[in-house]
Chain A
Amino acid sequence: MACAPGPDPLGDSRGDERPKWDNKLQYVLSCVGFAVGLGNIWRFPYLCQSHGGGAFLIPYLIALAFEGIPLFHMELAIGQRLRQGSVGVWTAISPYLGGVGLGSLTLSFLISLYYNTVLSWVLWYLLNSFQQPLPWGSCPLDVNQTGFVKECEGSSTVSYFWYRQTLNITADINYSGSVQWWLLVCLAACWAVIYLCVIRGIESTGKAIYFTALFPYLVLTIFLVRGLTLPGAAEGLTFLFTPNIQTLRSPRVWLDAATQIFFSLSLASGGHIAFASYNPSRNDCEKDAVIVALINSMTSLYASTVVFSVLGFKAASDYGRCLDRNILSLTNEFDFPDQSISRENYAAILTHLNATQTETVVGLHLESCCLQDFLDKSASGTGLAFIVFTEAILHMPGAPVWAVLFFITLFTLGLSSMFGNMEGIITPLLDMEVLPRWVPKEAMTGAVCLVCFLSSTCFTLQSGNYWLEIFDNYTASLNLIIFAFMEVVGVIYVYGTEKFCDDIAWMTGRRPGFYWRMTWKVVSPLLLLTVLTAYMVVMIPTTMSYRAWDPQYKQFPLRQEKPYPGWVQAVCVLLSLLPALWVPTVALAQWLSQRRRKQESVQQDTRLKLQDSVAC
């Protein structure tokens, strides 16, 4: 090693070839942007409300303290120390653990496929928000122009716009239908935007992240101010935060809290390791980990406040309109003067009428209006964003403005998470030197984006949404927990706790304390094992089924529960296991090649001994 130690500048200049962050802020914003994603807006509020409101924060914070932050710190530390992407890091710790890196790479690839498809839907809605009135506010006319399309009248304008005019969904997953050109075009645009941002790796994402990571906070604040001033916001917030300690008795709540913190921080997918690998070696990764994790959790809470104040407004206005419909029925039937029944005296008048003219009132088939029922209709995932929220926005004054702001926020949130996913793919590929050195980085990233785009066109088919739900439910869940478990075990027991603590002491200037060592050695592995077993116990018995949108269904607009056909179930199982299979495969390959090398060197030994003896 003639050159490396001698003049440090040469050693440094070789290290300089690895790109680095322009400043610390870029790095922190990238980590925050990767961690804060669509799940903070549409998964956490739903979980929080359905699992006992304020009481959910207890298991959530426990999971954060004993699982989220320690694992996060560990990922940042090893990435920063070994200065490689996920594949390089795990191969460096132990060649037998190289499979963890490859599995993370595969997982990042699969996740980016469906994540960007969701972004393309957000883009489609964003493009359609620049008009007044909003297109999801009214049903289109039918062929004769005498009435509205039946499917739309049977469900609702927003559902129709989502299921028919956006997805054009088939009634069954077996019928794939054709590629929807508008979705394909939006998907191409999304991948073009991703390519534009990751074209030079962190050089380009580092510039883009200033906007994509900070803009959502600005818009969330605007929405918060607007949301809190809407009527009904208070009911929504009370509904969200009212604690119900009884729910904590159900193990499902703890499992959901643990998995939520896990997926929310985007652990074990290789993205954070990639980001940290571009850091200077002497950087306080412990402080970074705690800061980013706390920002992520606070953003979740902030977003929940916004979401539920708007949902409270929606519930209140739905309730008001339900009352108005009943009032109109009564007014028309009994010929009361127009506007004589107000929402306040409706109940009194109804009881009076029920007593005096029971038959007529019963014949009217009045809806039962209950505010709690409307509040209970909260949703999560795409249902929240594209159905519930869009309907809420329709009733806000100045609807197109709010729609544009909302979808730009979702787009930038998803974009910054995509940067992390893409770096989880690109950095290991660059480190493994898959392509020869003379191929420019722009071509490499372009090839990756192109392959991802072509692979994700399957989600633009008419049955694409069903496939996306499959990917969402089965790819990430089990694999990420397995990888996280292997990560902790790999670093603590294979690499060695003491060596790891020495490394951190060198990087940050202080040794990790008792809390860190205890969580790394005992608590986190145990928690992960528990989550893993609980997950398998919960997932395996459940029948694999999906909910199909079928206008011919008797109980339309309810979605029909259908079981997955056999071949689809096989795909689900494959998706759940394939990335994790890298671990035993690589370990086996490594063991076989070691054995072969040992055999060859033994053979060489015996041959040399024979030569010596012959010579003597």
Chain B
Amino acid sequence: MLWLLFFLVTAIHAELCQPDAKNAFKVRLSIKTALGDKAYTWDANEEYLFKAMIAFSMRKVPNRGTTDISHVLVCNVTQRVSFWFVVTDPSKNYTLPADEIQLAVRMNRNRINNAFSLNDQTLEFLKIPSTLAPPTDPSVPIWIIIFGVIFSIVIVAITLLVLSGIWQRRRKNKGPPEVDDAEDKCENTITIENGISSDSLDMKGWHVNDTFVTEDERLTPL
């Protein structure tokens, strides 16, 4: 019975709903992309649900509270699945302005998507841009938090090392003084040859670089 009525209505008002008609919108669904194996087939019942959702959205617009399912016309359903729809006024003589339909759909986009288990990308209303999700910026960016942690650990470690170095040096200064004196004496008497301190050259098997015996030695003063 419903089917008969459905076809009757579309037959009478076929000219109102056409591709690229005034105030008509194209809808494209990608059910298989969204749901994979759990995809449902698009049949007349799904169409009925769609019309119901559009009627529901229109009822939320001021002054359009009396919109009925029969006022929503769907045509040119393809295998894609894509189709065009318009919303007519109660007299079914003319279509409602595109702005109102756009407003209605945008306000209830989420509910419409959820009714079909789809999202903005898989249930597309061409010419109705979806509102982009506002950026979820936390009050403090995450990188600053982690940076704070790492930096404080590094500063604490540096302070500890510097303090321990100072403490060690103080302990060494208070420590055995005699060994230091003997070493100092040795340092004073170790001569410097050729500008190289001899300690840096191991004595066992060290070869003197004869080229650089200083010229002073050759020109010994009388």
Contact = CB atoms under 8 A, between A and B. Distances in A.
Interface of A: 1-5, 10-11, 13-15, 82-84, 88, 91-95, 124, 127-128, 130-131, 140-141, 145-148, 185-186, 189, 192-193, 195-196, 199-200, 204, 281, 331-332, 335-339, 440-442, 494-496, 499, 502-503, 506, 594, 597-598, 601-602, 604-605, 608-609, 612
Nearest to B143: A127
A3 B219 contact: no
B81 interface: yes
A331 B80 contact: yes
B205 interface: yes
Nearest to B156: A196
Given A338-B80, A442-B162, A196 B198 contact: no
Interface of B: 28-33, 78-82, 129, 132, 134-135, 142-143, 146-147, 150-151, 154-155, 157-158, 161-162, 165-166, 169, 183, 185-187, 189-191, 195-196, 198-205, 207, 209, 211-212, 215-216, 219, 221-222
A338 B31 CA distance: 7
| Residue of A94, A185, A338, A494 with most chain B CB atoms under a 10 A cut-off | A338
Contacts of B150: 127, 189
Consensus secondary structure, chain A interface: helix
Given A338-B81, A503-B207, A605-B219, A15 B199 contact: yes
Nearest to B179: A13
B5 to A, nearest CB: 27
Contacts of A499: 207, 209
B135 A605 contact: no
Nearest to B190: A4
Contact of B169 (A335, A440, A506, A605): A440
A141 B144 CA distance: 22
B143 A145 contact: no
A281 B158 CA distance: 32
Nearest 4 Cβ contacts at the A-B interface? A3-B186, A127-B143, A335-B78, A339-B32
Contacts, number: 151
Nearest to B78: A335
Contacts of A145: 132, 134
Contacts of A281: 202
Contacts of A332: 28, 80, 82
Contacts of B158: 192, 195-196, 199
B78 A4 contact: no
A13 B196 CA distance: 18
A147 B132 contact: yes
B80 A189 contact: no
A83 B198 CA distance: 11
A58 to B, nearest CB: 40
B146 A4 contact: no
Contacts of A127: 142-143, 146-147, 150
Given A95-B195, A189-B150, A196-B161, A4 B203 contact: yes
B143 A594 contact: no
Contacts of A335: 78-80, 82
Contact of B186 (A10, A130, A331, A337): A10
A200 B165 contact: yes
